[in-house]
Amino acid sequence: MQQFEDNPGVAMDRGASIAPQPAYEHSWLIWLAKVRILILTFLLGIELAVINFTSTSINRRQFVAAIAFCYAISAFLVYVASQLRDSVSHRWVQIATDLGMATLLVYATGAFDSPFYFLYPLIIINASILLSRRWALLVAVSAFILHATILELSSLDWILHSDSQSRSALISLQATLVINFVAYMAIAYLASRLSTRLRQVDVELKDASGALQDLQAQHEHIIQSISSGLITTDIAGHVTLVNPAAELLLERYASELVGKQIAALFLDRLPAPTSSSAHSEVRASCPRGRRRQKTFRMTATSLTVPGRGAVGFVYNFDDLTEMRRLEREVRLSDRLAAVGRMAAAIAHEIRNPLSSIAGSVRVLSDVAVLNDEEKMLVNIVNRESERLNTIISNFLSYTREKQYEFVYVNLVPVLEETLKLLENRLPSLDRRTDNADRPQISLVRKFEISEAYTLADADRLKQVFWNIAENAVRAMPDGGTLTVTVRATESHFVVSFNDTGKGMPKNQIDKIFEPFQSDFDGGTGLGLAIVYQIVQAHDAKISVRSGPGEGADFILQFKRAADESGTEEKEGDDIAVLAATGGKALHG
């Protein structure tokens, strides 16, 4: 408390009510200088009315001259206030000027009988606000000295006074002076105490406000920084707040979400918010992302305010899309491994009697005389036996443990070689006999980079590229465009095959890499299963985006090689290759 009483500047430095900021105090002092002119105008009007309509001994010319002088001083103070930046000097100039003008008005309106004594208490109160207590008391003493001097000089006829009857009452002058002194000092003390208290309260209020703002900013930063999505709604379910993580997960801007019903943002029913948290998995459409749908783990809670109850709901969610994709891949791998082991054993058992049947039919066809119908039946048996043998051979190739030769490979020339072969064999891929009406298929290359080195088996990659491209061509029986894109990300090279064919429904996409899932006439259904197997062996990723009538987009992601030059293989690289192949031979 004492620091406020002795030095209000301390309070000002800490943000007190008098001058929270120098710019504010400066503008406030300018305002006081301008208000002084309005007060003088009001006093001039009142006093001139009194002089004109009542009998008084006040010298009108003297009073008007005093008012004019005060006007001039006030106008000068307004100018000084606009030029003077030192608030301390400005305060003292105003207070000293106010004391002088008040004394002048008291003198000009008759000293003893002046109606302007009230100006001294106002000046003391103003000083108590602007200055510390000790200086406010000094101003009160100064005001008393000026007032007492006017009265003493008037009683001694050293200056003019207005009323002779007042001179006859000089016996009470000393008592009047004592009363005025006590009153001025009391006003200075009480006003300074009140001003000091106001300064202290204002500082405490600003400290509390600053702490509240810091706490609010901290909470906002926490909401903005958490990695999980956060959405708040009102009772009706309209979105009121969306954090940046929610914008990123939903791939929408907050301006698109605020005000909308939260149920409209998700494809599945949201968990019912209760006093305790409820959670479930929901899906949402993502218009701007690579995936058209995402799966989220959603948690819903009530937003409760003490004394008001529930005012809204809070929805917190995380992206489970990648996790669910990996789970599907693991299940698919396990299922394929189990099916492969069983089918391989069955294929071996089928192949032996199939060879015997085919051989026996050929022997019988050579030793017997057959008519045309019998020859046709024998040919059917031979042809179907060969086709069945091809299917079994492909399946055994799929189930047989493969060995890879991993070296640094540039994907671009490998892909270009495959596409050249595809262009030359496009006519043979069409099963129709009428070549004249065969639809045209355009092959578009979009290679954003010329070098894309990865650790891979080039021959196996050609097999992957060929199977995907061949399926894309067969998916466009009425013609279309196959666009092959190669681009680079921060950690991967991405190769995509995008066709404009008939597309696939979601249930077909979910099992597209399983064996015997072919949708083409004459297909074995093992091509994409082998592709998936090779991609997995390369520690790469493959995904499919498609829809009925929307074509298909096969996306391959290969890791960047540690040494992308592909010109030097160190011993450490050989160790890494062995680790990648599970310790198997690099050549085989």
3-state SS, 203-234, equals HHHHHHHHHHHHHHHHHHHHHHHCCCEEEEEE
Residue 324 lies in a domain: no
Question: For residues 347 and 352, what is the distance between their CA atoms, to the nearest angstrom?
Answer: 9
Residue 216 lies in a domain: no
Question: Same structural domain for residues 11 and 153?
Answer: yes
Question: For residues 506 and 521, what is the distance between their CA atoms, to the nearest angstrom?
Answer: 21
426 DSSP 8-state letter:
H
pLDDT for the residue numbered 571: 38
* Residue 449: how many other CB atoms lie within 10 Å: 11
Sequence-distant contacts of 44-48: CB under 8 A, at least 24 apart: 47/109, 47/115
Q: What is the span of the domain harbouring residue 353? A: 335-399
223 conformational bin, left if phi > 0, alpha if psi -120 to 50, beta if neither: alpha
* CATH for 461: 3.30.565.10
pLDDT for the residue numbered 568: 40
Question: For residues 529 and 516, what is the distance between their CA atoms, to the nearest angstrom?
Answer: 8
pLDDT for the residue numbered 312: 87
Tell me phi and psi for residue 475, to 5 degrees. -80, -5
Residue 30 lies in a domain: yes
Question: Same structural domain for residues 44 and 108?
Answer: yes
Question: Same structural domain for residues 197 and 100?
Answer: yes
Domain boundary among 175, 209, 243: 209
Residue 153 lies in a domain: yes
Nearest to 449 by CA among 417, 495, 481, 407: 495
Residue 109 lies in a domain: yes
* CATH for 234: 3.30.450.20
Question: Same structural domain for residues 204 and 349?
Answer: no
Residues 6+ apart with CB under 8 A from 583: none
Residue 493 lies in a domain: yes
Domain boundary among 209, 237, 265: 209
Burial class for 214, CB neighbours closer than 10 Å (0-12, 13-18, 19+): exposed
Question: Same structural domain for residues 518 and 471?
Answer: yes
How would you classify the pairing of strands 541-546 and 492-499?
Answer: unpaired
Question: Same structural domain for residues 73 and 96?
Answer: yes
Tell me phi and psi for residue 261, to 5 degrees. -70, 130
Question: For residues 485 and 444, what is the distance between their CA atoms, to the nearest angstrom?
Answer: 8
pLDDT for the residue numbered 497: 95
User: CB–CB of 280/299 below 8 Å?
Assistant: no
Sequence-distant contacts of 379-387: CB under 8 A, at least 24 apart: 381/357, 382/358, 385/354, 385/357, 385/358, 385/361, 386/358
* Residue 182: how many other CB atoms lie within 10 Å: 11
Question: Same structural domain for residues 83 and 119?
Answer: yes
Q: Six-digit token pair at 303? A: 């937003």
Domain boundary among 319, 354, 370: 319
Residue 287 lies in a domain: yes
Residues 6+ apart with CB under 8 A from 339: 515
Question: Same structural domain for residues 137 and 274?
Answer: no
Question: Same structural domain for residues 294 and 343?
Answer: no
Question: Same structural domain for residues 124 and 142?
Answer: yes
pLDDT (tens, 9 = 90+) of the chain, 588 residues, equals 444 444 444 444 433 333 334 554 556 666 666 677 777 777 777 766 766 666 666 666 777 777 777 777 777 777 776 666 656 776 777 788 888 888 877 777 776 667 777 778 878 887 887 777 788 888 888 888 887 887 777 766 655 544 444 444 555 666 777 777 888 888 888 888 887 787 788 788 888 877 777 777 777 777 888 888 889 898 888 999 898 888 888 888 888 888 888 888 888 888 877 645 567 888 888 776 556 788 898 888 888 888 878 888 889 898 888 888 888 878 877 776 776 677 677 776 777 777 777 777 777 777 667 777 777 877 777 777 777 777 777 666 666 666 778 899 999 999 999 998 888 877 655 544 455 555 688 899 999 998 999 999 888 899 899 989 988 888 888 888 999 999 999 889 999 999 998 888 888 887 788 776 666 655 566 778 888 888 988 889 999 998 888 889 999 999 988 655 544 443 334 433 333 333 333 332
Question: Same structural domain for residues 70 and 87?
Answer: yes
pLDDT for the residue numbered 484: 94
Residue 215 lies in a domain: no
Question: Same structural domain for residues 394 and 248?
Answer: no
Q: How far is CA 282 from CA 241, 267, 298, 327, 579, in A?
A: 20, 7, 7, 17, 39
**Domains identified in the chain, total number:** 4
Question: For residues 548 and 130, what is the distance between their CA atoms, to the nearest angstrom?
Answer: 81
> Which ranges of 404-457 does DSSP label H, i.e. alpha helix?
411-429
What does the radius of gyration of the chain's CA atoms come to, in whole angstroms?
49
Please give the helix or strand (H or E) that residue 91 lies within, else none: helix 87-108
Question: For residues 535 and 521, what is the distance between their CA atoms, to the nearest angstrom?
Answer: 25
User: CB–CB of 519/526 below 8 Å?
Assistant: no
